[in-house]
Copies of this chain bind each other. A is one copy, B any other.
Amino acid sequence: MEKLELRYEGKAKRVYDTDQNEYFWVAYKDDATAFNGEKKGQIVDKGLVNNQLSALFFEEIEKAGIPTHYVKLLSDRDMLVHRLEMIPLEVVVRNIVAGSLSKRLGVEEGFVLSRPVVELYYKDDALGDPMVNESHVEAMGWASMDVAREIQAMGLKVNSILQSILVKAGIELIDFKLEFGVRDGKVYLGDEISPDTCRYWDIETREKLDKDRFRRDLGKVEEAYQEVYRRVKAVLA
């Protein structure tokens, strides 16, 4: 497999063409950004953790019957994926209130929701990724009502799959963000599943083991990423 032209450079990954049209080469970066790009930095070996941890999760999700873009690892920091036509939405699933939802609802961080919350955001940096609902999605032509519902249902299923892995790793899944795309008329889970895109708390100590350590200058950022990867690898070994 050859790495050819750079197709997109995002905040966390570079996406390259390959010599086969149906595949993309994804290279995970150590660059870290927060607050819509206002805060910038580096997290040593983040690319390595996010690539390999995402691979582990995608494998389990695929086994549970949800199509994912993951094909195989190409190196510590590189992954081969199916090329998708991305849907410009972020699907956020939340089990416990944190971050923006805490401000939106005036509820303290840590409040246990009586059921998982599923949110849609329109992926647009210039607009600050506004929250939307199914009717906006259909009215603006970003996806059909059916697809909007399907990706939310897939988000809830991924939530159960990830929770069942993470609980064994002593990690509570607070919330996470997914991105989906379409290939041959079918919806696939794309992008990544990592401490950049999830909130993980240690079940016992409630210590944060995710990007909030970077966002909020809590220190031990690299250690947290490594720790999550180590624990999940051990559970799935």
Chain A contacts to B: CB under 8 angstroms = 104-107, 113-120, 122, 124, 126-127, 130-133, 135-136, 138-141
Contact = CB atoms under 8 A, between A and B. Distances in A.
A120 B136 CA distance: 12
Given A114-B141, A117-B139, A139-B114, A105 B133 contact: no
Contacts of A139: 113-117
Which 9 pairs between the two chains have the least Cβ-Cβ distance? Answer: A113-B139, A117-B135, A104-B130, A118-B135, A115-B139, A106-B127, A117-B139, A133-B133, A114-B139
Contacts of A104: 127, 130, 132
A140 B130 CA distance: 21
Contacts of A119: 133, 135-136
A106 B139 CA distance: 14
A114 B143 CA distance: 13
A113 B138 CA distance: 9
Nearest to A126: B106
Of listed A113, A117, A126, residue having the most chain B CB within 10 A = A117
Contacts of A138: 114-115
A106 B124 CA distance: 10
A35 B152 CA distance: 33
A105 B117 contact: no
A136 B100 CA distance: 13
Given A105-B122, A105-B140, A133-B133, 10 more contacts: A105-B130, A106-B124, A106-B127, A114-B138, A115-B139, A116-B135, A116-B139, A117-B133, A117-B135, A117-B136
Contacts of A135: 115-119
A149 to B, nearest CB: 11
Of listed A122, A124, A133, residue having the most chain B CB within 10 A = A133
A117 B127 CA distance: 19
A47 B105 CA distance: 32
24 contacts: A104-B127, A104-B130, A104-B132, A105-B127, A105-B136, A105-B140, A106-B124, A113-B139, A113-B140, A114-B139, A115-B135, A115-B138, A116-B139, A117-B135, A117-B136, A117-B139, A118-B133, A118-B135, A119-B133, A119-B135, A119-B136, A120-B133, A131-B131, A133-B133
